[in-house]
Amino acid sequence: MRSLIAPLSCDSLVALAPVTATGATLFAKNSDRPALECQPLSDVPRCDHGVGREVRCTYVVIPQVERTYRVIGSKPYWCWGFEHGMNEHGVVIGNHTVFTKEPVASSGLLGMDLVRLGLERSCNAQDAVRVMSELLAAFGQGGSGFADKDWPYHNSFLVADAREAFVWETSGRHWAVRRVSDVASLSNHLSIESDWDELGPDTMEFAVERGWWVGESPARFNFAAAYRDTISVPGVISSARHARTCGLLERSKGNIGPSHLRSWMRDHYGRIDPRAGLSPADPEFFSVCMHADPVGTTTASIVAEIPENPSRAIYWACLGSPCVGVYLPLFLDVVLPEVLTRGGENYTADSAWWRARRLLECVERDWNAFLPFVRSALDSVEKALAEEAYKVVHQGTAERQAFVEAATTEALEVIDDLLRRLG
């Protein structure tokens, strides 16, 4: 089946400021990709480009804008776009594979390209949705989302800033958007039904013309019912993960903190061993922290804390699988240590991502024996770094820069020590 050829999973969630413990918007996303596809961080400075310039995305060249904003993003080593990221204004975006009845174009903007373009060109979440929808209309989406196979796909997006968030789901050049009221979660299927706030041009008419929706129906147009493909990809792959994150959000609503999100992104349905003898027919085979190749493995994660003042925002970055990783606190005015931005097709010791990957391989030999031991060491350093980050965030850029460099060194020293001990 096509669904077993290439990875197709990701999960993200958002909690707006009124329902969080810190009074800041909280956002999280796991990027699920091929298990050995390195996904380092990328550090893009603010830049003035002038008039008439162009930018080469993964597959297409488009006009550049006069100014782009500073962005921290996470991207597969081979492509231009980002799986998720955050800009200097505190806008954060993540994308997800979705499957619809509409064919995907052989070339166009990747969903990852749209994430990066939305971040580089927007000052708030609503502006980001506008930017991406205009780009989608002009250039379409398409082209393979993988380095080693021809596998194009449609995308959904979760977009947030300090004050509001939006679910934006697409099929080709067609789309629907829904404003988030308090919390929201996305996985790998269309979720906007008749609760949309806006539809893209011709979105309903296109579905009616193809017989996907009965135009004379008295019911309000249902985007997911009309466009979602439930034949090519079994719902079991995303249904339980989506229900899991929705339930976690609802149960903690009003008291959600960054530590909750970091824990949820590591979730194996409460198990140590993510598979525990389960088969792909079982919904819990596909956990939020994904270990289900060839469907997907979590290769990068973000937890973003976005207060009203973007200079106080924290980008918690985890390279590799969250269950055996550390969320490093990063800041939008700090240059990233090079070790976090290095990494290509093959292992190199100067890449933090590849070192984290080696640790996962050690744990995979015996989850029940090794994961508790590894988490004990990593939780200790992560807790200490989080406590220090909340002090440093109120200091100057120089102090934050020094902290990020020291924190990165400390976390990698712990990972390297675990690698030596686990052999």
What's the rounded Cα separation, in Å, for the pair 374 and 166?
Answer: 36
Handedness of CA 323, 286, 190, 132 (dihedral sign): positive
Tokens, residue 18: 């009124």
What percent of the chain is helix, strand and coil (3-state, nearest 5)? 35, 25, 40
Rounded to 5 degrees, what angle do the CA atoms 193, 194, 199 make? 90
- 125 contacts 304 by C-beta, under 8 angstroms: no
Other C-beta atoms within 10 Å of 295: how many? 22
**Alpha-carbon distances, residue 389 vs 113, 266, 294, 307, 384 (angstroms):** 31, 21, 37, 14, 9
Among residues 128, 217, 213, the alpha carbon closest in space to that of 177 is found at 128
Omega before residue 274 within 30° of 0, cis? no
Q: Which residues are catalytic, by number?
A: 10
